[in-house]
C-alpha cells in the first residue's frame, strides 16, 4: 500500500512518516479523518539530535541545508559541525548512500580535508551529517581580506588541489567544490585551507538537475557556476574525478581575476535550459581578457592582489590563462587528468618553466628558458636550448655557440674600452697633466661628456653606457640641465645599437625617468619607468630584483603625486620581491622599508611607520656595521618622525648620531651631512632654540654652495630655510630677500612651474601676511595653487595646503564668502588623501573654524575646533604645539561667547604648552598671553591680566 503526499502528490510507502520527495509529514494510514498535518519545522537551538548531538548555534545556511555548531554528547565529547539537509530529500536513500561512502570517507586522512564523522536522520525525517568543526572563511574571501598576491594565492590553491588528489586516490569525488566549501583558517599565523562536505554531495545526489536547481517557487538553490558540463547534461552520464578538476578551474579563475568566468547574476536569471546551454556550450573568456573588461572594478581587484591593473593583466596573460582554460575545458578528456597534474603546471609556472597547458610554441619555451637562466645563455645552454626546440643536428648549435662567444668577446672589448676611456679621463687630475691646477669632479665630468661624442662615435655600446653613467652622476649632483641631453642620447644610442626591449635600454629609461622625477615632470617620468618595468618583466619574469627597482621607482612617483594607496601597493610589492630574491636582511629590503615607512609617515600613520624605519636600521647595522653612511637614511627618518610627534629629545639624539657617522665617513663638508644638519636646525627652530638653529643653517648653506654651486636647487632650499628662521624670530625685513633669492634659484634650476617653487611662493606669501600685507600675499598663493594643481593634480595634499593658505589670506581681508569653499575643498582633499585623523586635517579645521568665528557661526566653529583638538592630541600628543593652536582658537571662541571660566582653562593650558615647547619668549607665547589676559579681565582678575599684557609687550620688543 501507498500514501499520496498532500503537498506534492507523490506516492509513498504507507509505513513512511514523511514524504521522500518534499519531506512533508504524511497523514496516518489508520486515521479516519482527512486533515493534513503541519509541515516539518526547522530544528531549534538546544535541540538534541539522535540523542548524541546538541545544537548550540547556527553557523550558516545554503541551498542544501543549515549548518549548526553542535556538541557531541556521546560516545565522546567534542565540538562538531552538524549539517541538516533541506526538505525534499529522500531520507532513507540519502542515509543509505552515505553508509556506502562511510568506509571510503573513514580512510581519508589529509590536513586540508575536514573529516566527516557521522550521518543519519533527525526525528522529523531530515538527513544530517556530522563533520569536523572548521572556523574559517571561504578561500576567496580570505585571499581578498588579507590582500594575498597572485603567487600567494597560487601557493594556497596548490594545497587545495593536493587535498582533492588525496580524496580521488581514496575513490572519493567531491562533486560540489566551490569557495564556500573551501574554508581557510589560521593556525600559528599560517593559512590552512580545509575542504568540507566530502562525500555529502554524492549521498544527496547533489547534481544540476531540475529538482535541485529550482524550488517550487522557482528560486535557484544549486551552484551552477562551479558545475561541470557533464553534471549539467542530465543524460545519466556518470561523473568522474575530472568533474572536480572543472570546479577547481573555476575556483582558480575566481582567485586570480576576482570574478567568475560567467557573470553569476546573468547566469542565475536565465531559464533552466539556458543555464544548461551556457555551461555545456559557451567558452569562458581568458582570465586576462575578463579582467580587461571590468572597467573601474579592475583597480579594486588589483589592489586586493597588491598590484595595479596593467601588471595583473600582464601576469595573467600566457600561463595562467592557459592553465585555467585547460582545467575548465568543456570536453573532460581535454582537462587535466588529475589534480596533481594541475598542481604540476602551477608549480612549473611559479618556477618559470614551460607549462603543459601552453600551445606548442618555440618562442614561448625559449622565453621561459631565458627567464630561468637570467645571467645569460652560454655555449652549453645554447646547445640544450636547441635540443628543447627540437632542432636536429649540431650545425645550428655551433653557430649559436660562436655567436655567444662573439657576444662575450664584444662585451670584454666594451669593458676594456670603457676602462681605457676612464683612465684617460682621470689623467686630467694628475699633477703633471693639471700643471698645478686643482681639478674638480665637475670638471672631470664635463671633460668626459665632451669626449664621448668626439672619440666614441664608432663604438655605440661604449657610448651608450658612458652617457648613461655620466648622466646619472650629473643627476645625483643636481645638474639636471647637463644630465638631460646625455641621458636622452644614451637611450637613443642603446635603442639603435641593441633593440628597444633590451635590459640595457631599461637601465637608461630608469635613469632618465629619475631625472624627470627630480625635475617635477611626473607624467614623463611615469611613462619611462612603466616602459622599463615592462622590459624587465618580459626579460626576467615578475619577481626579479630589477623589477623591484622599477616598482620602487613607480612607488616614489605615486607617492610624490599624492596617490598614497597606489604607492603603498607598489612599495609592498617591491619589498616582497626583494625579500624573496635577496633575503629579509638585504640592503635592498632596507631601502623598500624606508620608502614604505616614509609613505606611512606622510599618511599620518606614525605608529606603522616607526617599526619599518627601525627594521631598516637594524638591517643596515647588521649588514654594514654601526657606522656605515647608509645607516643615516633610517636614522634621519626616525628623527623626522619623532620631531613631528613631539619627542624632541629623542629626535635630537637620532640626528646627532647621524651627523657623527657622516662627519666621520664623508667628511665635514659633504652634501649628505648638510641634509642632516638642516633637519637638526629645523628641530631647534620649531622649539624656539633660534641661537642654536642659525649657525647650523648657515653651515648647511656654506657646504652646499661649495659642493653644489650657488645655483643648485638645494642651495635655494637652504636659503629658504634661513628665511623661515628669520620670519620665526620676527626679523621680517631680513626674511623677505632670503625667500626671494631662494625662489629665484629654484626657478632657474627647475623651471618656474616646479612644485618646489610653489613651496617658496607659499612661504613668501605667509611672510607678507604676517607683515600685514595680505593683498600682496594673495597673488603669490594663487600662483602656488595653480602650479600645484597642474603639476600634482587637483586632489594632491599640497594643493590642499595652498587652498588653506589662500583661505587664510581671504579671511584676513574679510572676504569670507570666497574663503569658505576653499576650506571645504581643502578639507575634502586631505581627508581623502591621508584619512580623517591626520594632523593636516586638523590644520584645515583650525583655519576653517577661525572663519566661522569671524562670521559668528560659533556652534559650527566650536565643533571644528574640538575635532581638530582631538585629532592633534591623538596624532601628535597632548603637549604638542599644534594642540595649543586648537586650544587657543577654542579659548578665544569661548571668550567671544562669554564662557570665560572654560576659556580660562583652555588658554592656561595653551600657554603652558607653548612656554614649555617653544620657549618663554616666542611670539606665539605673546599671542596667548594677550588672549588669556582678556579673559582674566572679564573674570575680574585685572592685576594678573595687566601682568600678562606687560609680559607680552616685552616679548614683542625682542
Residues annotated as catalytic are 176
Q: What is the 3-state secondary structure (H, E, C) of 49-116?
A: ECCCEEEEEEEEECCCEEEEEEEECCCCCEEEEEEEECCCCCHHHHHHHHHHHHHHHHCCCCCCECCE
Decide: 680 and 650 in contact? Cβ < 8 Å.
no
First to last CA, the chain: 113
Chain CA centroid to CA 237, Å: 48
Burial 445-465 (b: 16+ CB within 10 A, else e): bebbbeebeeebeebbbbbbb
Considering only CA atoms, which of 606, 551, 604, 557 is closest in space to residue 575? 551
State the Cα torsion 659-661-662-665 to the nearest 10°.
160
Residue 879, helix vs strand vs coil: coil
Decide: 151 and 580 in contact? Cβ < 8 Å.
no
Considering only CA atoms, which of 829, 308, 830, 377 is closest in space to residue 555? 308
128 Cβ contact partners less than 8 Å away, ≥ 6 residues apart: 49, 50, 82, 83, 84, 85, 119, 120, 121, 122
133 Cβ contact partners less than 8 Å away, ≥ 6 residues apart: 69, 79, 80, 81
In whole angstroms, give the CA distance from residue 112 to residue 100.
23
Half-sphere exposure of 869 (CA within 13 A, CB side): 17
* DSSP string for residues in 712-773: -HHHHHHHHHHHHHHHHTT-HHHHHHHHHHHHHHHHHHH-TT-HHHHHHHHHHHHHHHHTT-
Considering only CA atoms, which of 144, 145, 126 is closest in space to residue 68? 126
Only one residue has cell 647608509, namely 630
In whole angstroms, give the CA distance from residue 633 to residue 630.
6
Only one residue has cell 646627532, namely 656
To the nearest 10 degrees (0 to 180), the angle between helices 460-476 and 395-426 is 50
In whole angstroms, give the CA distance from residue 325 to residue 290.
12
Decide: 240 and 173 in contact? Cβ < 8 Å.
yes
In whole angstroms, give the CA distance from residue 610 to residue 615.
9
Residue 556 β-bridge partners:
none
In whole angstroms, give the CA distance from residue 199 to residue 664.
72
In whole angstroms, give the CA distance from residue 482 to residue 470.
10
β-pairing verdict for 48-49 and 11-13: unpaired
54 Cβ contact partners less than 8 Å away, ≥ 6 residues apart: 46, 47, 48, 70, 71, 73
Grid coordinates given for 772: 600685514
Amino acid at each position: 500500500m501507498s500514501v499520496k503526499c498532500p503537498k506534492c502528490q507523490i506516492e509513498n510507502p504507507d509505513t513512511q512518516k514523511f514524504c521522500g520527495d518534499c519531506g512533508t509529514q504524511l497523514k496516518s494510514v489508520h486515521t479516519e479523518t482527512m486533515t493534513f498535518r503541519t509541515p516539518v519545522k526547522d530544528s531549534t537551538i538546544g535541540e538534541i539530535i539522535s540523542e548524541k548531538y546538541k545544537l548550540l548555534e547556527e553557523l550558516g545556511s545554503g541551498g542544501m541545508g543549515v549548518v549548526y555548531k553542535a556538541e557531541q554528547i556521546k560516545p565522546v565529547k567534542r565540538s562538531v559541525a552538524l549539517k541538516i539537509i533541506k526538505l525534499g530529500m529522500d531520507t532513507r536513500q540519502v542515509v543509505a548512500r552515505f553508509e556506502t561512502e562511510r568506509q571510503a570517507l573513514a580512510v581519508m586522512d589529509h590536513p586540508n580535508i575536514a573529516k566527516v564523522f557521522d550521518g543519519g536522520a533527525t526525528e522529523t525525517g531530515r538527513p544530517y551529517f556530522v563533520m569536523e568543526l572548521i572556523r574559517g572563511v571561504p578561500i576567496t574571501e580570505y585571499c581578498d581580506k588579507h590582500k594575498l598576491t597572485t603567487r600567494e594565492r597560487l601557493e594556497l590553491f596548490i594545497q587545495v588541489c593536493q587535498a582533492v588528489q588525496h580524496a580521488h586516490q581514496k575513490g572519493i569525488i567531491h562533486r560540489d567544490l566551490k569557495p564556500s566549501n573551501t574554508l581557510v583558517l589560521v593556525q600559528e599565523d599560517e593559512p590552512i585551507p580545509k575542504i568540507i562536505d566530502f562525500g555529502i554531495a554524492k549521498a544527496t545526489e547533489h547534481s544540476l538537475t531540475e529538482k535541485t536547481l529550482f524550488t517550487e517557487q522557482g528560486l535557484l538553490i544549486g551552484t551552477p557556476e562551479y558545475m561541470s558540463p557533464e553534471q549539467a547534461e542530465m543524460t545519466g552520464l556518470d561523473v568522474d574525478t575530472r568533474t572536480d578538476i572543472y570546479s577547481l578551474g573555476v575556483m582558480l579563475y575566481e582567485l586570480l581575476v576576482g570574478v567568475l568566468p560567467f557573470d553569476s547574476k546573468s547566469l542565475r536569471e536565465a531559464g533552466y535550459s539556458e543555464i544548461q546551454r551556457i555551461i555545456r556550450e559557451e567558452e569562458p573568456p581568458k582570465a586576462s581578457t575578463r579582467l580587461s573588461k571590468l572597467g573601474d572594478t579592475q583597480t579594486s581587484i588589483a589592489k586586493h592582489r597588491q598590484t595595479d591593473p596593467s601588471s595583473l593583466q600582464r601576469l595573467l596573460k600566457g600561463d595562467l590563462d592557459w592553465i585555467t582554460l585547460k582545467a575548465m575545458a568543456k570536453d573532460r578528456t581535454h582537462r587535466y587528468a588529475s589534480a596533481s597534474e594541475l598542481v604540476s603546471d602551477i608549480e612549473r609556472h611559479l618556477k618559470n618553466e614551460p607549462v603543459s597547458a601552453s600551445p606548442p610554441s618555440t618562442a614561448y619555451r625559449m622565453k621561459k628558458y631565458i627567464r630561468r637562466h637570467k645571467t645569460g645563455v652560454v655555449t652549453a645552454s645554447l646547445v640544450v636550448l636547441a635540443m628543447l626546440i627540437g632542432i636536429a643536428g649540431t650545425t645550428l648549435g655551433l653557430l649559436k655557440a660562436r655567436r655567444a662567444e662573439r657576444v662575450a668577446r664584444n662585451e670584454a672589448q666594451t669593458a676594456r674600452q670603457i676602462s681605457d676611456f676612464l683612465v684617460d679621463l682621470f689623467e686630467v687630475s694628475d699633477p703633471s697633466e693639471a700643471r698645478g691646477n686643482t681639478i674638480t669632479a665637475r670638471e672631470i665630468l664635463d671633460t668626459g661628456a665632451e669626449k664621448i661624442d668626439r672619440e666614441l662615435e664608432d663604438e655605440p655600446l661604449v657610448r651608450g653606457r658612458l652617457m648613461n653613467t655620466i648622466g646619472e652622476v650629473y643627476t645625483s649632483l643636481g645638474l639636471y640641465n647637463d644630465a638631460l641631453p646625455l641621458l636622452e642620447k644614451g637611450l637613443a644610442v642603446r635603442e639603435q645599437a641593441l633593440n628597444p626591449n633590451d635590459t640595457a635600454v631599461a637601465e637608461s629609461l630608469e635613469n632618465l625617468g629619475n631625472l624627470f622625477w627630480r625635475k617635477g615632470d611626473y607624467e614623463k617620468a611615469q611613462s619611462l619607468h612603466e616602459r622599463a618595468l615592462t622590459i624587465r618583466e618580459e626579460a626576467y619574469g615578475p619577481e626579479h630584483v630589477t623589477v623591484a627597482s622599477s616598482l620602487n621607482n613607480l612607488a616614489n612617483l605615486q607617492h610624490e603625486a599624492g596617490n598614497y594607496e597606489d604607492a603603498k601597493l607598489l612599495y609592498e610589492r617591491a619589498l616582497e620581491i626583494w625579500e624573496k630574491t635577496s633575503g629579509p636582511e638585504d640592503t635592498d629590503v632596507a631601502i623598500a622599508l624606508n620608502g614604505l615607512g616614509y609613505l606611512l609617515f606622510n599618511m599620518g600613520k606614525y605608529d606603522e611607520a616607526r617599526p619599518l624605519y627601525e627594521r631598516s636600521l637594524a638591517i643596515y647595522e647588521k649588514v654594514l656595521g654601526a657606522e656605515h653612511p647608509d645607516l643615516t637614511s633610517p636614522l634621519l627618518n626616525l628623527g623626522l618622525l619623532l620631531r613631528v610627534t613631539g619627542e624632541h629629545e629623542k629626535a635630537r639624539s637620532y640626528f646627532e648620531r647621524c651627523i657623527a657617522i657622516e662627519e666621520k665617513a664623508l667628511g665635514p663638508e659633504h652634501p649628505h651631512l648638510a641634509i642632516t644638519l638642516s633637519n637638526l636646525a629645523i628641530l631647534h627652530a620649531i622649539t624656539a632654540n633660534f641661537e642654536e638653529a642659525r649657525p647650523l643653517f648657515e653651515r648647511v648653506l656654506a657646504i652646499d654652495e661649495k659642493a653644489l654651486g650657488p645655483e643648485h636647487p638645494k642651495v635655494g632650499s637652504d636659503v629658504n630655510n634661513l628665511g623661515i628662521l628669520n620670519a620665526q624670530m620676527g626679523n621680517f625685513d631680513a626674511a623677505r630677500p632670503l625667500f626671494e633669492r631662494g625662489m629665484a634659484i629654484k626657478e632657474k634650476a627647475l623651471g618656474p612651474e616646479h612644485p618646489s617653487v610653489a613651496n617658496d611662493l607659499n612661504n613668501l606669501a605667509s611672510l607678507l601676511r604676517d607683515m600685514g600685507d595680505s593683498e600682496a600675499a594673495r597673488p603669490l598663493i594663487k600662483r602656488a595653487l595653480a602650479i600645484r594643481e597642474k603639476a600634482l593634480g587637483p586632489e594632491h595634499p599640497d594643493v590642499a595646503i595652498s587652498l588653506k593658505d589662500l583661505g587664510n589670506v581671504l579671511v584676513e581681508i574679510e572676504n569670507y564668502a570666497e574663503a569658505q569653499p576653499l576650506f571645504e575643498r581643502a578639507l575634502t582633499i586631505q581627508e581623502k588623501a591621508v584619512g580623517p585623523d591626520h594632523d593636516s586635517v586638523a590644520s584645515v579645521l583650525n583655519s576653517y573654524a577661525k572663519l566661522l568665528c569671524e562670521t559668528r557661526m560659533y556652534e559650527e566653529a566650536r565643533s571644528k575646533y574640538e575635532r581638530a583638538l582631538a585629532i592633534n592630541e591623538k596624532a601628535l600628543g597632548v603637549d604638542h604645539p599644534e594642540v595649543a593652536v586648537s586650544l587657543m582658537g577654542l579659548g578665544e571662541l569661548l571668550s567671544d561667547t562669554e564662557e570665560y571660566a572654560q576659556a580660562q582653562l583652555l588658554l592656561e593650558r595653551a600657554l603652558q604648552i607653548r612656554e614649555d615647547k617653544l620657549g618663554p619668549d616666542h611670539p606665539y607665547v605673546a599671542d596667548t598671553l594677550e588672549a588669556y589676559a582678556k579673559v582674566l579681565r572679564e573674570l575680574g582678575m585685572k592685576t594678573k591680566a595687566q601682568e600678562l599684557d606687560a609680559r607680552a609687550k616685552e616679548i614683542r620688543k625682542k
